[in-house]
Amino acid sequence: MPSGEQIKARLRSAILSGEIGPGTGLPKIRALAAEVGVNANTVAAAYRDLVREGLIATRKRGGTRVAPGPFLPNAGDLEVRKASDRLISTAQLYGWSGADVIRLVAGRWSTEPRPPGHGDAAAASIYDFLRNRDYDEG
| Helix, strand, or coil (residue 76) | helix
Strand partners, 65: 25, 57
| Residue 62 and residue 18 share a domain | yes
Range of the domain at 125: 75-132
Identify the band that residue 44 occupies on the pLDDT scale cut at 50, 70 and 90. Answer: very high
How many structural domains are present in the chain? 2
Q: CB–CB of 9/1 below 8 Å?
A: yes
Strands (E) in the chain, as ranges, are: 56-59, 63-66
Distance from C-alpha of 75 to C-alpha of 129, rounded to nearest angstrom: 26
63-91 residue pLDDT tens = 899 988 766 556 676 777 788 888 988 99
Per-residue DSSP letter, 118: T
Cis peptide before 115 (omega within 30 of 0): no
Helix (H, G, I), strand (E, B) or coil at 56: strand
Q: Are residues 79 and 52 in the same domain?
A: no
Say how many residues make up the chain.
138
Q: Is residue 138 part of a domain?
A: no
Q: What is the pLDDT of residue 74?
A: 63
Statement: residue 110 has pLDDT above 50? yes
Q: How far does Cα 55 stand from its chain's mean position?
A: 8
**39 and 86 share one domain:** no
48 and 82 co-located in one domain: no
Residues 51 and 86 in one domain: no
Q: Is there a domain that residue 43 lies in?
A: yes
Nearest one of 122, 105, 123 to 114, comparing CA atoms? 123
User: Can you give the CATH number for the domain in which 48 is found?
Assistant: 1.10.10.10
Residue 109 has pLDDT above 90, yes or no: no
CB 115 within 8 A of CB 109: yes
8 A C-beta contact, residue 136 and residue 99: yes
137 located within any domain:
no
